[in-house]
Amino acid sequence: MRIDEDKCIGCGVCMPYCPAGAISIQNKKAHIDRDKCLECGTCGRARVVRCPRGAIHEDEDVYQRPRSIRKYFSDPMAYHVETKVPGRGTEEVKTNDVTGRVKKGQFGIAIEMGRPCLGASFVDIEKVTMALAREGITRFERDNPLTHLMADPEKGIFTDEAKQCRVVSAIIEFTIPDEMLERTLATIKEVAQEIDTVFSLDLISRLENEPTIAVAPQLEVLGITPRPNAKVNLGLGRPLKED
């Protein structure tokens, strides 16, 4: 994003809205730090930040690589060109009843890098994907836009272009057979100590009957307690995937 200095009156109304803390007042004008700006678009939305002069605009290069990587992973109003899906991941559990993305006997795992608040660089994201690749997890979700930025999925390595970028969040997504759960979560917990950000961790599984946290005892062994609030797919989609 950029500030039109001819229009800006330095009122500072935009400053607190920036999730990345990229806006400051310099010489009585708002200034956006281009390195800190993640292109989430919040400051430029007239309905959100009521800039009295309409002085905040998108940069001309925001839809061109490498800047567009920030845009697509940070602005929920931008649809990924590759997947036609808005947001940063796939439809994950949202449509699992018709896609069968996570089947019986499997777990779906999503590692939401940078979430909440801190954002993530692809250098940190790569630390996690490389750790997973060393464990033999190399089949990352095909429809996830993050996978399109990998230079070598077998090693979990991203392109140099991606590694120049920071984003609000990006989701590492994959499925594993049931029996790999404990080892995979242990790897994820281990690599968490090496990164300069945070991630929120998702675990998707099929339900046999009512929504219960059947996997809780397995997680307890790893010192992980699932939150009491979750997201449940009600199984109303058709055609229903039952496998």
Partner 1 sequence: MTHSLHRTGTPENLKDDFVVLVTPAVGINNKGSQDKLREILDFIFDLGPTNIGSYETGTVFSGATIEEIKEKLSETPRVRVCFSSKEKVKKLVEFIKERDFGLSVTVSGLVDEIKDITQAVNIQPHSINLSLGIHGKTEALPSPEVLEFVTMCGHGMISASLVERLIADVKAGRRTPRQAAEEMARPCVCGIFNPDRAAKLLQKYERQ
Question: Among residue numbers 28 through 47, which ones bind partner 1 (CB under 8 A)?
Answer: 40, 42, 45, 47
Q: How many other CB atoms sit within 10 Å of the CB of residue 113?
A: 29
Query: Which one among 3, 56, 67, 89 touches partner 1, defined by CB under 8 A?
Result: 89
Binding of residue 13 to partner 1 (CB under 8 A): no
What is the DSSP secondary structure assignment for residue 159, as one 8-state letter? P
Closer residue to partner 1 (CB): 99 or 151:
99
Calculated CA dihedral for residues 14, 20, 26, 29, nearest 10 degrees: -30
Query: Which one among 27, 209, 217, 243 touches partner 1, defined by CB under 8 A?
Result: 209
In the complex, least distance from residue 6 CB atom to partner 1, rounded to whole angstroms: 26
Dist CA 23 CA 2 (whole Å): 10
Q: Token pair for residue 169?
A: 């969040």
3-11, 51-59, 157-165, 202-210 -> range binding partner 1 (CB under 8 A)? 202-210
Query: Which one among 60, 179, 210, 243 touches partner 1, defined by CB under 8 A?
Result: 210
Query: Which one among 6, 179, 229, 243 touches partner 1, defined by CB under 8 A?
Result: 229
Closer residue to partner 1 (CB): 13 or 157:
13
Distances (CA, A) of 181 to 35, 88, 218: 37, 24, 9
Contact 167, 114 (CB under 8 A): yes
Binding of residue 135 to partner 1 (CB under 8 A): no
What is the DSSP secondary structure assignment for residue 71, as one 8-state letter? H
28-36, 58-66, 148-156, 207-215 -> range binding partner 1 (CB under 8 A)? 207-215
Binding of residue 177 to partner 1 (CB under 8 A): no
Alpha helices in 35-180, H assignment, sequence order: 67-74, 96-99, 122-134
Contact 72, 149 (CB under 8 A): no
Closer residue to partner 1 (CB): 65 or 189:
189
Query: Which one among 56, 150, 168, 176 touches partner 1, defined by CB under 8 A?
Result: 168
Closer residue to partner 1 (CB): 20 or 133:
20
Angle between helices 122-134 and 181-192 (to 10 degrees): 140
Q: What are phi and psi of 31, to 5 degrees?
A: -135, 135
By rule CB under 8 A, what count of residues binds partner 1? Answer: 86
